[in-house]
Amino acid sequence: MNIDIEVLPHGIGLELPKYATEGSAGFDLRAAVAARISLAPGEHRLVPTGLKFAIPRGFEGQIRPRSGLALRYGVTVLNSPGTVDADYRGEVGVILVNFSSNDFVVTRGDRIAQMVVAAVASIPLVVVETVDATSRGDGGFGHTGIQ
């Protein structure tokens, strides 16, 4: 099974996505910007990749942050993980957000995110009068504590 990739005109010349190591779960996505863009503290922006992907049916592409950008610069993917559905055929963009107190500059070819391809299931949804009970019940949002 393959993932077909279409390179758009503004993506020509950029390094194509690849798995960095044999054990890598994801492959890097690069910024296909014509000129440098600056993200001010608290600002978010859609950054183009210059790529379209044909994700196989039964899978999704998950757009995830790069840990180095998050740790070193406070920059992450805003809607993490973003989903690229199997039937989507538009350009993949990455919504970057700058949570630091300094401007962050994105230049052409920068590795801005990674995509992990994961299997998904389409399961029928059924409306019922009540859902089944469990020992957890409706406990959520930290109900088990932190210790």
d(C-alpha 66, C-alpha 28), whole Å: 8
Chain centroid to Cα 23, Å, comes to 19
- Least Cα distance to 42 among 101, 82, 105, 95 occurs for 101
Determine the pLDDT at residue 58.
97
CATH superfamily membership of 4-119: Deoxyuridine triphosphatase (dUTPase) (2.70.40.10)
Is 143's pLDDT higher than 80?
no
Query: Edge-to-edge strands of the sheet including 4-7?
Result: 4-7, 44-54, 91-98, 75-77
pLDDT tens-digit series, residues 71-121: 999 999 999 999 999 999 999 999 999 999 999 999 999 999 999 999 999
pLDDT tens-digit series, residues 53-72: 999 999 999 999 999 999 99
Angle, CA of 51, 107 and 8, to the nearest 5°: 20
